[in-house]
Structure 1
């Protein structure tokens, strides 16, 4: 879990993913010699802070978003949400502005619900703040801020160790409206003819999806994937014997929303480990679900 710990510690709120992009690129360059197959690495100004890894003759693309939720400093010690973080007075927030490192406390006005910070000085307006990383590992679980979606990124990087044919796409902005998958999907479809995708992201523990019973294959969230594609995935998963669960939700979304709205016939399916305490500093995931997620992705990339 050392890689996951390192990923969780790198701040990358939506719109400012550059530090995590550098970390992931450095990791790729350091470890690709030990992978079964070396990819083409595409990371340049055409794709802003996104990264594409192209292996062999790809049939399927895996999308994992780099960014996280957080807060932007406004005026008069006010904070504005980045994405949808849960808020509780006393949460520890960190960042950096022109005057140095910031380590402050989230405040929530009891009457208005207005968000702010407690710190010994004013913080530069426009500064991004993220949850302080307190990474906790037990024999059966990991707990930290930003397992959504550093665990999805971890899964994609571990998938690269054995991947022969496929594309791994690290996207940006997912937590705050998206935008990057639109141009990534256009490039992938037009360049490689790939039009089926898996979304390597983290879902929720709910009354129907439980920790420790395997990763979740989502049949729908706020969007509905094409049933024929999802049925293919379900058949492969069932034949593999890998533990998994089926998820049905009426809300929520992911990088898939831009594939669904693309001017190309993309198929997609969200597959991810469920977590508890979503969008807090204390996101919690069972290691058995992490293991099943990686195992299922490895099988699917071979057989889809």
Structure 2
């Protein structure tokens, strides 16, 4: 594991509180872009609400990765309210900080309600994340928030060689979305982008396995246009990068907001599978991550 992946894994960014991970990415981009094949135009700042757009050359395709994670919000009487869909496992360690100081506590569950065991009241509205514990063994990584730190990492590696394209780092995905509509409008009206790839993490199932390559999703709760999927698969075959095809009835990504937008933009989820989603012990394969990066490099060049 290189230093960049470790650095972004150690930053908390529960949905609605993406400023620290956004600042980290901007610092990395500004520091490294002079060594990339093409130095992109950067769009970020208060008017972009922590979202980041990188525009390389003459773009035809945009790649998106969300920066936020699941977590919890402190309520009253030691209660916690989930942000997104975290797995509630009693005894799991959480971490965060309020105006009084650092917080480290465990999840408790009583009659379907979620609580913490911190010895003092936590200020209302404080966001708590799973405590990070990064473990590596036999070609795998196990940690909290591989969803979607692996997507961020893959697109940052893509930036090193990308000549034409847009890379977008987005917010709010885990809690229903919200930033994509204005980003899609900005991208379409300025560069007439009509193709989008979603760099995210999906689940290991009976049809998606560790160590068998990147994952191209043919559908989840939304269905991409078949002609675009056919072109993606043709290019994936041409690239000779190992990949798997996913078909699911549920789930979603930033792709749903592209499909629901008024703009004629095709999209496809291309990511990586993981075990134990939305827990402190998400598990993924380094081989699959490498395949994901290589597939993005090929698709962004040839779509």
TM-score after normalising by structure 2: 0.99
Following superposition, the deviation at residue 108 of structure 1 comes to: 1.1
What CA distance in whole angstroms lies between the structure 1 residues aligned with 2:118 and 2:163? 50
User: Unpaired segments of 5 or more residues in structure 2?
Assistant: none
Q: Distance in 2 between matches of 1:195 and 1:137?
A: 39
What do residues 187-224 of structure 1 show as CA deviations (whole Å, max 9, x unaligned)?
00000111210000011100011111001100000000
String of CA shifts for 1:62-97, please: whole Å, max 9, x gaps: 000000000000000000000000011110000000
Instruction: Give the superposition deviation at 1:139.
Output: 4.3
For structure 1, the 5+ residue unaligned runs are none
The equivalent residue for 1:288 is 287
Task: List, as ranges, runs of 4+ consecutive aligned residues in structure 1 with deviation greater than 6 Å.
Answer: none
Alignment match, 1:149:
148
Q: How does 1:264-303 map to 2 (within 5 A)?
A: 264-303=263-302
Deviation of 1:153 (Å): 0.4
1:206 aligns with 2:208: no
* 1:273 aligned counterpart, secondary structure: strand
Deviation of residue 45 (structure 1)?
2.3
Mapped pair 1:58 → 2:59? yes
Q: Give the TM-score normalised by the residue count of structure 1.
A: 0.98
- What SS class does the counterpart of residue 79 from structure 1 fall into? strand
Aligned to 1:39: 40
Q: Which residue of 2 aligns with 1:3?
A: 4
Counterpart for residue 18 of structure 1: 19
Partners of 1:191 and 1:166 in 2: how far apart? 13
Distance 1:137 1:3 in 2: 16
Once residues 3 and 120 of structure 1 are traced to their aligned partners in structure 2, the CA distance between those partners, rounded to angstroms, is 35
Which secondary structure state, in structure 2, belongs to the residue aligned with residue 188 of structure 1? helix
Matches within 5 A, 1:124-143: 124-143=123-142
Shift of 1:272: 0.5
Give the superposition deviation at 1:303. Answer: 0.3
C-alpha separation in 2, matches of 1:51 and 1:295? 22
SS in 1 for 2:198: strand
How far 1:290 moved relative to its partner? 0.4
- Alignment correspondent of 1:91: 92
**What is the aligned partner in structure 2 of residue 105 from structure 1?**
106
Distance 1:98 1:44 in 2: 25
